């Protein structure tokens, strides 16, 4: 699917194009491994846990990801600001941005600990996640373990933003692949030795999630990124305004993404029951493969677009956007094929343990096709920090998505398919302005809100 794009990028002699090609090729292999692991691990989960326990696990895991929202968009702010500093070869400024970001995020992490343990006295987690009496203690223990290991990971994973800002997202993908390999081994051992409790699973999954970014940070900041390694002496809070200013924009956009997808499992649990979550999650994993492989192409372009925009290389940007749009057409055809063969793939993958509704396949496919298209324009606009119009859409999505998801799931006879359909409807409004804004910027005709 990406051969044509690779051939065209290979023809360029500039460093930016070569970096993109290198990252696409490495990421393709790593994403392939991740996809294979994603398919292998689901049957292991189903053999390790009951359908109800697996549904609760998926819901709790999704809710935990909400706390990524608490970085206030600072991580993506670092990604853009560091990319700008590296484009200008200003490593001292880059070190200040990195050090200040780590200080800010560490402060947020301490606040998260205080917030969680305060809430822990008032919330019955077993009741929140609809756990039966037999799982009450497991669910309570699982939630505490997952959160306590997530918070230091929240800080450690900033290394992924550093390597991505340096136009090396393949390194971030390598970290993800190592996490997935170790988690697969861990789940296999739990299954092999019949240690299938939610608490044991929490220790394995969350522990590995923390271990890899910690090791990667120690290694990279002592070698390749020694000039950028965070230090107390380079923390300068006057730069926090630029990080938080751009970060606030990403914060709202992340909030919309949180509402669009991260609430899906919780809505399904509350409206339809936790036993409906596994089917939804498996369908999402299957169709998300197309989005993952499309993302391996678009991800390197974020910081590359930042670099090109700073250097006013608009011709290169236009050329790359056209090639990405051609790739999207090919991907859309591939997704339709995935929809048609889905029943056969599910049967081969998980047997007859779960029934995946046809409506869910079609709605999930539509979501993936739309998301891939929007990611092209979103990557460009995010890379250059022109996101003001997108903020208004994000607020609209945060207001509309949850009630629309509940209504479609409960009253439209679509069930869980209604939840992803609501997300698709909300996201589709971006088609009304993102392509137009991109055109205005590249024609140097963007003014007012279109240039902010």
DSSP string, 64-130: HHGGGGGGTTHHHHHHHHHHHHHHTT-HHHHHHHHHHHHHHHHHHHHHHHHHHHHHTTT--HHHHTT
Q: For residues 390 and 434, is the Cβ–Cβ distance under 8 A? A: yes
Q: For residues 179 and 215, is the Cβ–Cβ distance under 8 A? A: no
- Measure the CA–CA gap between 435 and 335, rounded to whole angstroms: 22
Angle CA 127–129–130, to nearest 5: 65
- Measure the CA–CA gap between 298 and 376, rounded to whole angstroms: 7
DSSP 8-state secondary structure symbol assigned to residue 2: -
- Measure the CA–CA gap between 291 and 368, rounded to whole angstroms: 6
Alpha helices (H) along 314-387: 314-350, 358-384
Can you give the pLDDT of all 452 residues of the chain as single tens digits? 445 555 554 444 456 667 777 777 787 788 788 888 988 888 888 888 887 888 888 888 877 777 766 666 778 788 888 988 998 889 999 999 999 999 999 998 898 888 888 887 777 877 777 778 888 888 888 889 998 999 999 899 999 999 988 988 889 889 999 999 999 999 999 988 777 788 899 999 999 999 999 999 999 999 999 999 999 999 888 888 777 665 566 667 766 776 666 678 778 888 888 888 888 988 998 998 899 889 878 887 887 898 889 888 999 999 999 999 999 999 999 999 999 999 999 988 888 777 899 999 999 999 999 999 999 999 999 888 888 888 888 888 888 888 999 999 988 888 899 999 999 999 999 999 999 999 999 998 888 899 88
Tell me what pLDDT residue 370 has.
96
Q: Max alpha carbon distance in the chain (Å)?
A: 64
Q: For residues 367 and 424, is the Cβ–Cβ distance under 8 A? A: yes
Domain membership of residue 394 as a residue range: 3-451
Q: CA dist 420 to 73, 169, 378, Å?
A: 25, 28, 20
- Measure the CA–CA gap between 283 and 23, rounded to whole angstroms: 28
- Measure the CA–CA gap between 13 and 8, rounded to whole angstroms: 11
Tell me what pLDDT residue 1 has.
47
Q: Find, among 292, 232, 269, the residue nearest to 99 by Cα.
A: 232
Q: For residues 360 and 423, is the Cβ–Cβ distance under 8 A? A: no
Backbone angles phi, psi at 14, to 5 degrees: -85, 155
Q: Find, among 284, 286, 220, the residue nearest to 419 by Cα.
A: 284
- Measure the CA–CA gap between 46 and 340, rounded to whole angstroms: 25
What is the C-alpha R_g of the chain?
22
Tell me what pLDDT residue 68 has.
66
Angle CA 291–292–293, to nearest 5: 95
Answering whether pTM is above 0.75, one says no
Q: What sign results for the dihedral spanned by CA atoms 359, 364, 370, 372?
A: negative
Tell me what pLDDT residue 250 has.
64
Name the domain count of the chain: 1
């Amino acid at each position: 699917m990406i051969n044509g794009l690779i051939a065209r990028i290979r023809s360029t002699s500039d460093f930016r194009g070569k970096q993109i090609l290198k990252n696409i090729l490495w990421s393709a292999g790593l994403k392939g491994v991740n996809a294979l692991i994603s398919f292998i691990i689901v049957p292991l989960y189903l053999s390790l846990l009951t359908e109800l326990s697996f549904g609760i696990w998926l819901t709790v895991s999704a809710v935990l990801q909400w706390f990524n929202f608490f970085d206030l968009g600072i991580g993506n702010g670092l990604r853009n600001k560091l990319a700008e500093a590296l484009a200008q070869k200003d490593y001292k400024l880059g070190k200040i941005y990195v050090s200040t970001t780590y200080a800010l995020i560490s402060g947020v992490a301490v606040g998260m600990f205080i917030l969680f343990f305060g809430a822990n006295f008032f919330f019955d987690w077993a009741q929140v996640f609809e756990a039966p009496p037999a799982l009450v203690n497991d669910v309570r223990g699982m939630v505490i373990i997952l959160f306590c290991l997530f918070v230091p990971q929240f800080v450690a994973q900033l290394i992924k933003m550093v390597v991505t800002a340096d136009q090396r997202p393949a390194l971030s993908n390598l970290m993800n692949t190592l996490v997935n390999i170790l988690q697969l081994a861990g789940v296999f051992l739990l299954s092999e030795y019949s240690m299938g409790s939610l608490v044991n699973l929490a220790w394995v999954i969350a522990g590995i999630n923390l271990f890899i970014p910690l090791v990667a940070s120690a290694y990279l900041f002592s070698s390749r990124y020694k000039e950028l390694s965070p230090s107390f002496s380079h923390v300068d809070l006057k730069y926090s305004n630029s990080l938080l200013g751009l970060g606030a924009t990403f914060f709202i956009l992340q909030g919309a993404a949180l509402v669009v997808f991260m609430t899906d499992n919780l809505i399904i649990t509350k409206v339809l029951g936790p036993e409906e979550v596994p089917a939804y999650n498996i369908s999402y994993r299957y169709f998300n493969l197309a989005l993952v492989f499309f993302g391996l192409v678009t991800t390197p372009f974020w910081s590359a677009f930042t670099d090109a925009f700073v250097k006013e290389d608009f011709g290169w940007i236009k050329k790359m956007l056209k090639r990405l749009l051609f790739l999207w057409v090919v991907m859309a055809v591939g997704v339709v094929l995935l929809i048609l063969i889905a029943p056969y793939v599910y049967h081969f993958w998980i047997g007859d343990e779960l029934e995946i509704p046809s409506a869910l396949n079609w709605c999930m496919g539509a979501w993936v096709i739309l998301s891939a298209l929007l990611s092209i324009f979103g990557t460009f606009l995010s890379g250059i920090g022109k996101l003001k119009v997108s903020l208004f859409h994000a607020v609209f999505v945060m207001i509309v998505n949850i009630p629309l998801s509940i209504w479609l799931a409960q009253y439209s006879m679509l069930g869980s398919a209604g939840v992803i359909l609501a997300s698709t409807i909300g996201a589709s409004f971006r088609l009304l302005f993102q392509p137009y804004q991109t055109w205005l910027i590249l024609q140097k005709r963007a003014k007012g809100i279109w240039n902010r």
